[in-house]
Structure 1
């Protein structure tokens, strides 16, 4: 009952029972990975020793992130393509243990594993989950917990959305008013409501806190890809530094409601210097090869109405201010490339043609990803109708308030990231990513309910061979896996039965869907 499903599993006779004095044989750095992931739940020290019954090593013949796991009554052996793959092997090993043995401090005795031979490799190299901390601040401890849950499901990318109209979450030492002013809004109001809640909301992460998170994630095979959102979604930034906007005389404030706002950066030389300074600070904290530059939902109305924007466009050889966003994207892509980083942007960055060397995250529909791939860009498939986990998980009237749309667990599981992608450009599809936007998910409990079990289905889409995939076969494995999540205290949404809590009354979901369907993609 493993999830995601390994490439090949063969059960054999007998079982392996851990002893209190069991040891690990193999290189110290690999043994440390096994100990870090297996030790807390098993309650074993697992020191290094040449004759240990748990053996770990590398095999260069294995594909990237691939591993072989052998459990016999006498011995556990792990051979992996790279240190990250050692971690994936141990995550599989953890799932073979009783669910209670996943908990730190567990003392399940006797602690046994079924004898089994497993060969495994991922389908995609980019297996991501996105988390928005801008709309609602997520406590730091819950970011660490989120990393653990990603690693358990063999996700290897954590896309951390750090800024938006409603709040700035990244500590800047160059521009301290960003956290002093931009990280707090005076209240929160849902767009369909006339009045806000009257409660201030905010918070930010210090750079050292984020460095600790990066290190913790790296030890579990997860790369954190940070995002600072420009040149739109900048209300919180302009509240702190109005001089970087097109109307500095305006009394900007962090947005108290949700949607797309017309305020954008002015993109003059002073603003560009600020952007590069902020990204310099970001690169100092996040070593990821990929850096997300945002770029979505950026209205051009302010630029089109601004004489100064027209002057800037002319100075830069552009046909008009409507081309400023593309110019900005090219500038930031080049700046990152000079520093050995690769820009990732929402698919709008390629609206005016391909951006060589950048990655397009296809959120408005798979067709945007196909077009970018056909023009030679690498792509991450993240279409709303398959991967937006902030959409409603069912059409029941007692579902908690959400932004609109409908993405069920079976819908996620049926997603094929390569559907419609010509074979000759399929190599440009790096992988797949799920999105957790937090407009209507103010607490970690909300995030649990929204993410799981749909993230479990997406994990299998990202990792496992799609051949022969069926919901009927997946269902029993998912049920067994949810027992593990329950043991870990994850407040997942039950696929059947009553909801754990309710918000709104009869017809609530239907009314909201009529008011706002945020997806630009047609069902399919």
Structure 2
């Protein structure tokens, strides 16, 4: 047998020796899992048995102990390197030996993937494998619009396990039912303590450490707008401003000059950590944009913003350390003000998030040289879009893996954010999640920076059961034809203050690629002019709508039939929803740009009204897909934006004068294709 007969495995194993021939699985076989493995619920044996039944229809027995013969034998060898494993498939059967429970778990996942593709007979082989990064984590946003159902969270843990992740963090701001904070979490379908306890048990049984992560400093938009807590913010006077997805990303930091702020943060920490078995805790503490600018200005003038920040997070970290816990925090503020690095507790883990597709190693080296432990944190690039930006994700993930290995990073944490309502369907970032797993375990074996296509083909084979489906490739193509993204629509709509005037709070947060273009867009005199300038900055991309929609339509025509119901619900259904939605967004953006005078061309009769109706029909399908994996949470807010878009399309175009200037006095390069982003800067441009 040649290597061509080797089934796809992700992450790619470090060493594979192929034998000659295959071995048939017994009709009535048994999996014998040694008690020393440490798998009390026999979850690992059950995973193998389940995979065999799905692939062949055969139902196998599970046993333990030396008196029982098993065609598949699982045992532990603590003399092996932690997490390493050896998998042998011979004519006599299958053996998995692992370094500790996690090593056995890792070997089981490789066997599952092979069974999934091979069915009733397995290729003879021997695999010896171990990971590059000891910690391979995933960071899932459950707060910025979408709260997953517990069933979906368990399915997600199963996916993470299959691809050998061993840590998961859920990002929480206001979507947890903390006692005494009902004004913060009301109406959000928030998670409860019982959910966390049940999910922690579920993850632990699969070798995944569930780490608590909660905002304790910045990103407290909902809490600091509540009646009970608004007085703790830097700008309590802004608490009654209309809700805005854009403003939610950029404001609402604790006023740490108020002693009650520390009491509040410690209360969050102490009540939340009791629900988890891990000793790690992520205090977040990122993007504290308002620090020292409002109520704490006098304190900042006296000691400096960097010292303010360092003192506060150090107090939170010490509180955790004194109780035997290991503090974590995001690294953006410390890297913006490097003097902070020297003031942080040495037992803290800095989560170094760097999302640029062409990320370099400067900031990873900087933390590495400081002596502080770090996890490098890339992104799946799913936020603010109907389909993830897969190419940007792979470039970012693969490059940052290289950087982290070069400078001794202690872990690799793949982030999955849901900015601006979390419109991105979680099922569509599964390929990005698997890319992250491939890069964290064995980047070189996955092809390094040039490995995206090979990893994509393996994803199709393992995850979707069809090596020729090209789902991963198709998904990556959708964003190529996104001429007006969800985020652009949110900006366009939220510039309206609700009364036809300009929302200055949103306008001041727009970013247009460089300082000159940004200043030009922000200086619009009124709503019409500011919108026109925004669309002008984006006009080259928006004007490409006819070609892009033709491409998306052609993509629909070549999508394969799903091989089974699992593939239909995992990838085909959410992909169809995303493609149809993106075509409608592209058309809406083009109509708005024509009306604003940002691009030339007559508006075809009836196009706007037809697009509005199609949007409303599409929205109902989108809502059904949302409910497949998520609670209601903030679905209503997302739907309202879609309905606002439909209503805007039905509005009669304004006069030429109402458009505002779009080319006169425009700065050089204002018409370039720039992705507009918020000053948090992390996501679309670093």
The question of a shared fold, defined as TM-score above 0.5 by the shorter chain, is answered with yes
**C-alpha distance in 1, partners of 2:447/2:461?**
22
Q: Deviations over 1:389-435 (max 9, x none)?
A: 2269xxxxxx8377xx88436525642534387x6xx33x1132222
**C-alpha distance in 2, partners of 1:285/1:511?**
50
CA shift for structure 1 position 440: 5.0
Q: Which one has a larger percent helix, Structure 1 or Structure 2?
A: 2
Higher deviation after alignment, 468-477 or 226-235: 468-477
Matches within 5 A, 1:16-31: 16-27=24-35, 29-30=38-39
| Corresponding residue number in structure 1 for 2:416 | 436
| Corresponding residue number in structure 2 for 1:353 | 340
| Corresponding residue number in structure 2 for 1:15 | 23
| Corresponding residue number in structure 2 for 1:291 | 281
**C-alpha distance in 2, partners of 1:477/1:246?**
46
Aligned-pair Cα RMSD in Å:
3.5
| Corresponding residue number in structure 2 for 1:217 | 203
> What SS is found at the alignment partner of 1:230?
coil
Q: Deviations over 1:358-405 (max 9, x none)?
A: 11122246422321111101111125xxx342269xxxxxx8377xx8
Q: Does 1:378 align with 2:373?
A: yes
Partners of 1:137 and 1:203 within 8 A in 2: no
CA shift for structure 1 position 217: 1.0
Q: 1:270 to 1:93 in 2, by over 3 A?
A: same
Q: Deviations over 1:228-257 (max 9, x none)?
A: 113111121123322322455654479431
CA shift for structure 1 position 266: 2.0
Decide which of 46, 62, 69 is 1:46's aligned counterpart: 62
Partners of 1:30 and 1:57 within 8 A in 2: no
**C-alpha distance in 2, partners of 1:436/1:377?**
24
Decide which of 239, 243, 246 is 1:258's aligned counterpart: 246
Decide which of 151, 169, 173 is 2:175's aligned counterpart: 169
CA shift for structure 1 position 47: 2.6
Partners of 1:131 and 1:159 within 8 A in 2: yes
**C-alpha distance in 2, partners of 1:159/1:177?**
25
**C-alpha distance in 2, partners of 1:490/1:237?**
44
Q: 1:172 to 1:415 in 2, by over 3 A?
A: same
| Corresponding residue number in structure 1 for 2:12 | 5
> What SS is found at the alignment partner of 1:288?
coil
Q: 1:440 to 1:115 in 2, by over 3 A?
A: farther
Gaps of 5+ in 2: 1-7, 54-59, 478-553, 557-575, 591-670
| Corresponding residue number in structure 2 for 1:178 | 184
> What SS is found at the alignment partner of 2:555?
coil
Q: Which structure is larger by alpha-carbon Rg, 1 or 2? A: 2
TM-score norm. by structure 1 comes to: 0.79
Matches within 5 A, 1:182-331: 184=187, 202-240=188-226, 241-248=229-236, 251-252=239-240, 255-259=243-247, 260-267=249-256, 268-300=258-290, 303-306=292-295, 310=298, 319-320=303-304, 323-331=307-315
Q: Does 1:454 align with 2:432?
A: yes
| Corresponding residue number in structure 2 for 1:195 | none
CA shift for structure 1 position 283: 0.7
Partners of 1:68 and 1:79 within 8 A in 2: yes
CA shift for structure 1 position 157: 1.7
Partners of 1:2 and 1:477 within 8 A in 2: no
Higher deviation after alignment, 485-494 or 134-143: 485-494
**C-alpha distance in 2, partners of 1:512/1:179?**
39
Give the count of matched residue pairs: 468
Q: 1:480 to 1:460 in 2, by over 3 A?
A: closer
Q: Deviations over 1:311-343 (max 9, x none)?
A: 5x79xxx62466322211110111111122222
CA shift for structure 1 position 156: 1.5
Partners of 1:55 and 1:78 within 8 A in 2: yes
Partners of 1:360 and 1:369 within 8 A in 2: no
| Corresponding residue number in structure 2 for 1:396 | none
Higher deviation after alignment, 256-265 or 63-72: 256-265
Q: Deviations over 1:27-69 (max 9, x none)?
A: 1634814223223232333232423222222222321211111
> What SS is found at the alignment partner of 2:179?
coil
| Corresponding residue number in structure 2 for 1:498 | 555
> What SS is found at the alignment partner of 1:137?
coil
**C-alpha distance in 2, partners of 1:420/1:380?**
8
| Corresponding residue number in structure 2 for 1:482 | 460
**C-alpha distance in 2, partners of 1:253/1:521?**
25
> What SS is found at the alignment partner of 1:415?
helix
| Corresponding residue number in structure 1 for 2:326 | 342
**C-alpha distance in 1, partners of 2:394/2:305?**
44
**C-alpha distance in 2, partners of 1:511/1:246?**
37
Partners of 1:68 and 1:120 within 8 A in 2: yes
Matches within 5 A, 1:100-139: 111-139=120-148
> What SS is found at the alignment partner of 1:46?
strand
**C-alpha distance in 1, partners of 2:446/2:196?**
41
Decide which of 88, 92, 116 is 1:74's aligned counterpart: 92
Partners of 1:363 and 1:381 within 8 A in 2: yes
**C-alpha distance in 2, partners of 1:442/1:511?**
28
Q: 1:161 to 1:347 in 2, by over 3 A?
A: same
| Corresponding residue number in structure 2 for 1:188 | none
Q: 1:362 to 1:251 in 2, by over 3 A?
A: closer
**C-alpha distance in 1, partners of 2:189/2:446?**
46
Partners of 1:71 and 1:117 within 8 A in 2: yes
**C-alpha distance in 2, partners of 1:25/1:205?**
35
**C-alpha distance in 1, partners of 2:450/2:369?**
35
> What SS is found at the alignment partner of 1:505?
helix
Q: Which one has a larger percent strand, Structure 1 or Structure 2?
A: 1
> What SS is found at the alignment partner of 1:129?
strand
Gaps of 5+ in 1: 102-107, 185-201, 393-398
> What SS is found at the alignment partner of 2:316?
helix
CA shift for structure 1 position 121: 0.4
> What SS is found at the alignment partner of 2:366?
helix
**C-alpha distance in 1, partners of 2:179/2:683?**
40
**C-alpha distance in 2, partners of 1:416/1:139?**
28
| Corresponding residue number in structure 1 for 2:521 | none
Q: Deviations over 1:127-168 (max 9, x none)?
A: 1221111112232222212111111111212121011xxxx1
Higher relative contact order (CA 8 A, sep 6+): 1
